Amino acid sequence: MNAPRNSPSPSTSSYQNAPTRSVSVHGENFAYRELGPEDGVPLILLVHLAGVLDNWDPRVVDGLAARRRVIAFDNRGVGGSSGSTPDTIEAMARDAVLFIRALGFDQVDLLGLSMGGFVAQVVAAEEPRLVRKVILAGTGPAGGPGIDKVPALTIQATLKGTLTRQDPKLSLFFTDTAGGRQAGRALLERLKERTHDRDKDISLPAFRAQLKAIKRWGRQAPSDLSEIRQPVLVANGENDRMVPSPNTLDLAARLPRSELVPLYPDAGHGGIFQYHEEFVTRALGFLES
Amino acid sequence: MNAPRNSPSPSTSSYQNAPTRSVSVHGENFAYRELGPEDGVPLILLVHLAGVLDNWDPRVVDGLAARRRVIAFDNRGVGGSSGSTPDTIEAMARDAVLFIRALGFDQVDLLGLSMGGFVAQVVAAEEPRLVRKVILAGTGPAGGPGIDKVPALTIQATLKGTLTRQDPKLSLFFTDTAGGRQAGRALLERLKERTHDRDKDISLPAFRAQLKAIKRWGRQAPSDLSEIRQPVLVANGENDRMVPSPNTLDLAARLPRSELVPLYPDAGHGGIFQYHEEFVTRALGFLES
């Protein structure tokens, strides 16, 4: 029932070497990579602001793919996916559903990171039969405190990063401590491990559309999280300055069937990458329970 | 008469090794580097937006310093200079005069690039006895077309540069042609030649203050360039997208004693760096005529 009808079977052993494929969704090509065993409910990864296929920590993907079929894809108009990037989370959620159905799946699990977590919440609420379980990392509910500041914070960090010749991801995803800086540099190195067939970077117009979508999500009226009836695992670093960590606690408190991973110490928005071993173990346990 | 009263004599042979010095200006320390023979009228370099001591092309400084005493300095609150960065060109001009006088000079030449060219115009008009000759590169008059767009263009290029992992200077200072890209990469390499005692990067607040100053300059009423009575050499690339090249032609047309270097072909805002040999020859000829 969960076997895809129109995608070749996963055959590679690591995300570093996973070929980039594409599937047509209403005339647009959505780029994706998949990895892991063919059986079981596939896990769809929903990526963060500006993220493309190469922005997933290979340790997290490989770790999850050791036991689950894992599929990462590019949002419409981002990286290798064609089309025009939507400027609302709701439209991104519709795209995610179309992509999942285009691959022939009728039941999936979701892992949404940051903006991808916003998308995951909408998909889970709108498609209770399609979505079995959800993992939300570094994210928050509509109208969550500080989320509408993500665009300004991102632009500020980008300008500062350019002036200091430092990747803005270090300050946005990691704590400004010895441990946080070390974890950030380690992630940047892991993200470079794939050297062939890398994804295209996001374009400036697509980036702007996503910024607009995030600001809107942050300013939206709080959503009724009781509409999400699936089991949800919630994780984050204890000191997330992008989507402030209280949002994670709020999700865990208001989602009817949630499990909260104790907030990762000395970690921020990229907590699940910084603690990839712990996160993978916990996520697999959650998905397989 | 032009010997400084309180600065050690220049002794190094290249800008790459020039020590960073500082001089107290009304309680703030202004960082500077100097190079070249002690005699003659010194040439003060006025740097561009976000520029610090390490942003001057060493080929241009070394070339000029082969025959002239050359002094580069950090604006107030930028790089190694203490204090709070002003948000008007006029205040930067007052700082430049204070710095020049603090070094004990009573006559100097000026080379202003981009924002530094705005500053040079104000200093030249306000201090007709202090300033002997002026070189204006990649710059324009107050109220010049497109100058108020420099902040937006810079931020856009910075965001895009981060998304594409490319130094925004490539798109801001050079043409998007094979020749322009090659010249840009070559400059970025030259700017890395100095490996010890590098300057501090500009801070985000100082950068913002400069953006504000540039926007104000761009929106100011056109200044009366006939107030600048000194000989002025005007240079730029033919395709400057930061301070659009027509501004260069306008300067040459309206300055009473101007010489226009034919606009450098296939070059932009960084034209004098791209054509450093030609520029140095022409600038020395102008200063020594």
The residues spanned by each domain of chain B are 15-288
Q: pLDDT value at position A11?
A: 54
Q: Which residue of A has its CA nearest to B166?
A: A162
pLDDT in tens, B178-235: 999 999 999 999 999 999 999 999 999 999 999 999 999 999 999 899 999 999 999 9
Rounded to the nearest angstrom, the minimum Cα separation between A137 and chain B is 23
pLDDT at A255: 98
Q: Which residues of A touch B202 (CB under 8 A)?
A: 163
pLDDT tens digit sequence for B108-127 = 999 999 999 999 999 999 99
Nearest by CB to B163, from A156, A163, A201: name it: A201
| Residue from the list A159, A201, A207 with its beta carbon closest to the beta carbon of B158 | A159
Query: Do B134 and B230 contact (CB within 8 A), yes or no?
Result: yes
Does the complex come out with an ipTM higher than 0.85? no
Which chain B residue lies closest to A199 (C-alpha atoms)?
A: B164
Q: Which residues of B touch A161 (CB under 8 A)?
A: 162
The C-alpha of B162 sits at a distance from chain A's nearest C-alpha, in angstroms, of 7
Q: Does the beta-carbon distance from B159 to A155 stay under 8 Å?
A: yes
Report the gap between the CA of B80 and the closest CA in chain A (Å): 14
pLDDT over 50 at B5, yes or no: no
Distance between CA atoms of residues A182 and A187, nearest Å: 9
CATH class of B15-288: alpha beta
**Interior angle at CA A9, CA A4 and CA A15, nearest 5:** 115
Taking the CA atoms of residue A240, residue A241, residue A246 and residue A252 in that order, the dihedral angle to the nearest 10 degrees is -40
Q: Is the Cβ pair B161, A165 closer than 8 Å? A: no
Q: Are A30 and A73 in contact (CB under 8 A)?
A: yes
Look at phi and psi of residue B40 and say left if phi exceeds 0, alpha if psi is from -120 to 50, else beta: left
SS3 label, residue A179: helix
Task: Compare all CA atoms of chain A with the CA of B52 and give the residue at the minimum distance.
Answer: A163
Query: What dihedral do alpha carbons B56, B62, B67, B70 form, nearest 10°?
Result: 30
Choose among A14, A21, A19, A78: nearest CA to A52. A78
Which residue is associated with the tokens 């050079």? B174
Q: Amino acid identity of A61?
A: V
> Which SS3 state, helix, strand or coil, does residue A45 take?
strand
Tell me if B207 and A155 make a contact (CB, 8 A cut-off).
no
* Chain B residues near any Cβ of chain A (below 8 Å): 50, 155-156, 158-165, 168, 201-204, 207
In chain A, residues with a C-beta closer than 8 Å to the C-beta of B159 are: 155, 158, 204, 207
Chain A residues at the B interface, defined by Cβ less than 8 Å, are 50, 155-156, 158-165, 168, 201-204, 207
Q: Residue range B95-101: average pLDDT? A: 98
Grouped pLDDT means (10 residues each) for chain A, 289 residues: 47 88 95 95 98 98 98 98 97 98 97 98 98 98 96 92 90 97 98 96 94 97 94 98 97 97 98 98 97
CB B20 within 8 A of CB B31: yes
Inter-chain CB proximity B204 and A158 less than 8 Å: no
Q: How far is CA B168 from CA B116, B151, B165, in A?
A: 19, 13, 9
Rg from Cα positions in chain A: 17
Q: What is the pLDDT of residue B8?
A: 47
A-chain residues within 8 Å CB-CB of B161? 162
Answer whether A59's CB lies under 8 Å from A138's CB: no
Which residue type occupies A282?
Answer: R
**pLDDT tens, B133-172?**
999 999 999 999 999 999 999 999 999 998 888 999 999 9
pLDDT of residue B37: 95
User: How does strand A70-73 pair with strand A28-35?
Assistant: antiparallel
Task: Give the pLDDT of residue B1.
Answer: 41
Partners of B156 on chain A (C-beta within 8 Å) are 204
Nearest-10 Cα torsion for A125, A126, A131, A132: 40
With helix as H, strand as E and coil as C, how does chain B read?
CCCCCCCCCCCCCCHHHCCCEEEEECCEEEEEEEECCCCCCCEEEECCCCCCHHHCCHHHHHHHHCCCCEEEECCCCCCCCCCCCCCCHHHHHHHHHHHHHHCCCCCEEEEEECHHHHHHHHHHHHCCCCEEEEEEECCCCCCCCCHHHHHHHHHHHHHHHHHCCCCHHHHHHCCCCHHHHHHHHHHHHHHCCCCCCCCCCCCHHHHHHHHHHHHHHHHCCCCCHHHCCCCEEEECECCCCCCCCHHHHHHHHHCCCEEECCCECCCCCCHHHHCHHHHHHHHHHHHHC
B162: which chain A residues are within 8 Å (Cβ-Cβ)?
158, 161-162, 168
Nearest to A160 among B163, B168, B204 (CB): B204
Q: What is the pLDDT of residue B77?
A: 97
Give the closest residue to A64 by CA, choosing from A34, A36, A44, A40: A36
pLDDT at B11: 54
Measure CB to CB from residue A158 to each of B50, B158, B207 and give the nearest one: B158
